[in-house]
Structure 1
Amino acid sequence: MYFKVLYMDTKNYHEDLSHIRSMMERSSRFISLSGLSGVFAGLAAIIGAVYVYFVFQREGIDYFDGDRNIYSPALVKELLIAGTLILIAAVLSGYIFTANKSKKKGLKIWDGTTKRLLATFSVPLVTGGVVCLGLLYHHLFALVAPATLIFYGLALVSAERYTLTDIKYLGYCQIVLGLVSFFFLGWGLVAWTLGFGVLHIVYGLIMHRKYK
């Protein structure tokens, strides 16, 4: 009888520890990030890349020539607008799917953890944005795609501390892809499509299946 009671107490003790760990995980990490948001962000990136490719065809630009291409101010403006629309579509889809997931789980989407996540994520992302503007200013267009991949990857790795641990692996892939594309400048658009498009879709599907 004594051993039975001791066993039950030990079992309850371990269950309490598991519950406490779960509560600490919820309070310290943003766990409502939706895998489907990654899928839609990837689809938006692929659609945008296809659009950019046809814009280059229209302008008679062979993107695979890399740093030998010259872009007019009007073309740069059009590409910036396209990139902004892709970003807005990705952010909106991410918010909608994440908000729905948070609502189903009864969790707040905006709290201290979310603020820390956004702050950590924003530092390398904003830094990368300024670097890319500098590259555009100096007409180093072929370096923009690799730079966006690298800084975005760094932002994901930094944000891992406050959200799903798996996100760092997506970040590592983005960084490696960006570094490789620095040595193949004419393939920047392809690398960008793989990074922001294909990798996002694959990651999103895996996360959706793992955390649904």
Structure 2
Amino acid sequence: MQSKAVLFDMDGVIVNSERYWVETEESEILPAAVDGSPDTSETTGMNFREIYDYLEARHEMTETKDEFVDRYENAARDIYGEKVALMDGFEDLLADLRDEGRTVALVSSSPHDWIDRMLDRFDLRESFDRIISAEEIDGKSKPEPDVYEFAAKEVGVEPADCIAVEDSENGVRSAKRAGMQVVGYRNESDEELDLSEADAVAASAEELREILLAE
């Protein structure tokens, strides 16, 4: 798939954080905040502050939004600072895309301080042409298209000439609604997610590389 720009989601794409978030949400965050057992696949890819509002509209909440946010902030320090690993071959993939003259950006629903923690840990800050957090926009996070529409403007490339790499249904839907091509990436913890809206699906880092670098 050819494009002028490749936009990478962070969680579950650049680093294997999704598995840790699912475990933490299911065992700690959601049981403390929600009366019931919501499906984490409903909220994967959403901004964590909007997750509370989403759940509150559908469930009885057992803690405040501030308490809920604090749990995510504490978990993020541990997950990005200690636990996550970089996707196999990711640095080489970025280098090859840039050698082809393609713009590369990170586009995440996570706040900048979470993104920064990951970038500093793996020394990736200079590897991206643009680093975009949903907190920069005055709009809704994934699955709405706002963050990807903003990202296309920021990198100066028409949406149709962008490829987004996403591992969640909400992320795929967001990029498609923005008019982009999308590669769905199946990470190790979310094999059951429906990525059928994507233009192509990669089941491994090697397949993702083949798709993005194919003529």
Instruction: Report the TM range for the smaller structure's normalisation.
Output: 0.3 to 0.5
> Structure 2 length normalisation: TM-score?
0.40
More contact order relative to length (CA 8 Å, sep ≥ 6): 1
Q: Which has the larger radius of gyration?
A: 1
Q: Normalized against structure 1, the TM-score is what?
A: 0.40
Structure number with the higher strand fraction is 2
